[in-house]
Amino acid sequence: MSDSMAQGQPHPAVARSAAAEAFLSRTPDVIAPGHTFGSVTDKISGIVLTHRTPIGWFMGFAIAFVFLMILNVTIVKLLFTGIGIWGNNIPVGWAFDIINFVWWIGIGHAGTLISAILLLFRQQWRTSINRFAEAMTLFAVACAAMFPLLHTGRPWLAAYWLFPYPNTMNLWPQFRSPLIWDVFAVSTYFTVSLLFWFTGLIPDLATLRDSAESKWAQKIFGVLALGWRGSAQHWQRYETIYLLLAGLSTPLVLSVHTVVSFDFAVSEIPGWHATFFPPYFVAGAIYSGFAMVMTLAVPMRAAFHLEDLITMRHIHNMTKIMLATGMIVAYAYVNEAFYAWYSGNLYEQFMFTNRATGPYGPFYWMLIAINACMIQLFWFRKVRDNVVLLFILSLLVNVGMWLERFVIIVVSLHRDFLPSSWDMYAPTRWDFGMFTGTIGLFLALFFLFVRLLPAISIFEVRTLVPQAKLQAADHH
Amino acid sequence: MAHAPETALLHGLMAEFDNPTALVSAADRARLAGYTAMDAYTPYPIEELNDALGLKKNPLPFMVLMGGLLGGLGGYMLEYWTQVVAWPMNIGGRPFHSWPHFIPVTFECTVLGASLTAFLGMLALNGLPKPYHPVFNVPAFDRASRDRFFLCIESTDPKFDRTATESFLKDLHPLGVSEVAA
């Protein structure tokens, strides 16, 4: 492992062509030169322990907190009144609640992709972005889970058909329903993501315990670090399960959005009932998730001066993944049109015409403009080098993916099989309160996370510095 | 560090290095010299130490496999029992034991069982959480989680001898050798 970790040192035995050298010299390193074990430790732990909190942090947290309070008000109102305060009504039985659920859970997927799948593929560049991407996953899944739970109206009364527990009515969940699969998939996903995230944190919490000056910080980090002492014996077991958890998370993350897509694909609604939904949804999830990682990474990198650790290499690679997965999503849009035409089914064809030219048509064309056309900008190196532009584009990608779920869910429902029951859907202010409220919750948690815990994995970044390479002469 | 009285129990002797190469070769030499009860402490995982210290393979992969199988089996049996025995219901004319519908939950339970076993198994085998350990008595040990590398030969080693082991460790050119009070 350590040999492959050495940076920027071409192996002398490999003679490279001038063109290859020129190409490699244009590829930025995953860590800026000149760092040592001590300097990376101080750089990352300093954000938590010693640095003054930037004023931008307080402002950002304050804004997020306002929206968090809006979420609280919305939830209280919802629990007292019922889900009638939302805009959804037959025929549009699913609207903001499910759009936002799918949107948030999709965002979470990039964190697991970075931490697990890129680890299995030995992609070193994952190392300085995996920690906060995993945190993003946890917070996004927490926001996502809130929507279906609150859609039940009074979740404590719904528990018996959501979770299998012996109740006085002797009733059990109905396991042939994709909605129950969802309960298992999302709760497993949250649990495993939490275990993976905390496992990664243990050695870094020990670092904070050992370098903290204040008694309170030492005590709190000491308890959280569980007495970790960096023993070689411990590291060996630790590495075993870290790899195993990565291997388990990989099929898990693919299964979660597959099951989410089953919520639609297993039904018989035109526009939902399609066998290609699972790969389409998984690609869309990773695409929107990387956009959110970019949205968070660009300001965090600037605010805490992390350009040495989150280098242009990371920014380039994330953009390329967005481009690749975005193209898969665009391909899926073409497929949807093709299926509608090729099926010869009246309702499928109407669904598609209604999507493109119906009352919600502009939303469809906006999502095509963003997810199929705008992302073509990512082909250009000039765009990939411009972090401010990338920040704006990644925000737009998040908008585009939200619109995609709006189009899939609302537009497929609002004109159903019987024209007499057709209706329009409009969200109420409570819908918006809940949606912006979860954004507030997500951002508030993220602000607290970057301030209170190491946002970059310290021990993994140590393996990237040149000192970590063993000198071959002394050891065989 | 403060010298413990002669009669006080000693956990072992600890040598401090400032780079991973020195630690790995020190561990190699200690193993070849016949020491068995020893451990190294590093700020990040060093694969080469596993061989240098002669660490045995751990049983975690097998435990995780068992945890996964138990989780999956439990999930499927829960579905079978609730849908076929406890509360059979006709859903769209499907058989009570409609196994394809039981796969997603079985899969999720497999992953959950395996992951919980991995996490809890690692903590259990490592004896964590453990708030007190003798190595924390060495003042320089604070840097084991930062940029220093330690090799500790423990007093339970049959070959351990207060003076001979200390001179052996000093021969490895460490930054320093300290006593670890028990």
Given CB atoms, is B62 within the 8 Å cutoff of chain A?
no
Last residue of a domain, one of B101, B125, B149: B125
Instruction: Specify whether the CB–CB gap between A68 and A412 falls below 8 A.
Output: no
- The number of angstroms, rounded, from the C-alpha of B125 to the middle of its chain's C-alpha atoms is 6
Read off the pLDDT of residues A313-355 as tens digits, 9 standing for 90 and up: 999 999 999 999 999 999 999 999 999 999 999 999 999 999 9
Q: Which residues of chain B does A228 touch, with a Cβ-Cβ cutoff of 8 Å?
A: 128, 145
**If we measure between CA atoms, which residue out of A455, A352, A330 comes closest to residue A45?**
A455
Contact A235 B61 (CB under 8 A): no
Across residues A52-80, what is the average pLDDT? 93
Across residues B132-144, what is the average pLDDT? 89
**If we measure between CA atoms, which residue out of A198, A199, A206 comes closest to residue A227?**
A206
Instruction: Specify whether the CB–CB gap between A60 and A300 falls below 8 A.
Output: no
Q: Which residues of chain A does B83 touch, with a Cβ-Cβ cutoff of 8 Å?
A: 172, 174-176
Q: Does the pTM of the predicted model rise above 0.95?
A: no
Read off the pLDDT of residues A135-152 as tens digits, 9 standing for 90 and up: 999 999 999 999 999 999
Q: Tell me which residue range forms the domain holding B117.
A: 60-125
Domain count, chain B: 2
Say how far apart CA A425 and CA A412 lie, in whole Å: 11
Q: Which residues of chain B does A174 touch, with a Cβ-Cβ cutoff of 8 Å?
A: 83, 89, 91
Structure tokens at B131: 């708030």
Whether B106 and B16 share a structural domain:
no
Q: Which CATH superfamily is domain A2-9+29-164+171-471 in?
A: Formate dehydrogenase/DMSO reductase domain (1.20.1630.10)
Read off the pLDDT of residues B14-67 as tens digits, 9 standing for 90 and up: 999 988 999 999 999 999 988 888 999 999 999 989 988 988 889 999 999 999
Whether B117 and B84 share a structural domain:
yes
Whether B151 and B177 share a structural domain:
yes
Say how far apart CA A56 and CA A51 lie, in whole Å: 14
pLDDT of residue A7: 46
Whether B140 and B50 share a structural domain:
yes
Given CB atoms, is B36 within the 8 Å cutoff of chain A?
no
- Best of B115, B123, B151 to substitute, by most chain A Cβ atoms within 10 angstroms, is B115
Say whether A92 sits in a helix, a strand or coil: strand
Which residue has tokens 């804004």?
A: A63
pLDDT of residue B5: 46
Least trusted range by pLDDT, from A8-17, A53-62, A356-365: A8-17
- H or E element at residue B40: strand B38-41
Residue B5 lies in a domain: no
What pairing do the DSSP bridges indicate for beta strands B10-17 and B149-154?
Answer: antiparallel
Whether B105 and B144 share a structural domain:
no
Residue B4 lies in a domain: no
Say how far apart CA A364 and CA A331 lie, in whole Å: 15
Which carries the bigger pLDDT value, residue A304 or residue A371? Answer: A371
CA angle A308, A313, A314 (to 5 degrees): 85
- Best of A1, A3, A5, A37 to substitute, by most chain B Cβ atoms within 10 angstroms, is A37
Assembly ipTM: 0.92
Residue B169 lies in a domain: yes
Whether B146 and B93 share a structural domain:
no
Whether B52 and B139 share a structural domain:
yes
Percentage helix, strand, coil for chain B under 3-state DSSP, each rounded to 5: 50, 15, 35
Q: Which chain A residue is nearest to residue B64, measuring alpha carbons?
A: A244
Contact A210 B45 (CB under 8 A): no
Given CB atoms, is B48 within the 8 Å cutoff of chain A?
yes
* Cα–Cα separations (whole angstroms), residue A167 to A170, A402, A414, B89, B139: 5, 38, 37, 17, 56
Contact B86 A170 (CB under 8 A): yes
Last residue of a domain, one of B125, B150, B171: B125
Given CB atoms, is B147 within the 8 Å cutoff of chain A?
yes
Whether B43 and B73 share a structural domain:
no
Q: Which of A230, A245, A468 sits opposite B145 (nearest CB)?
A: A230
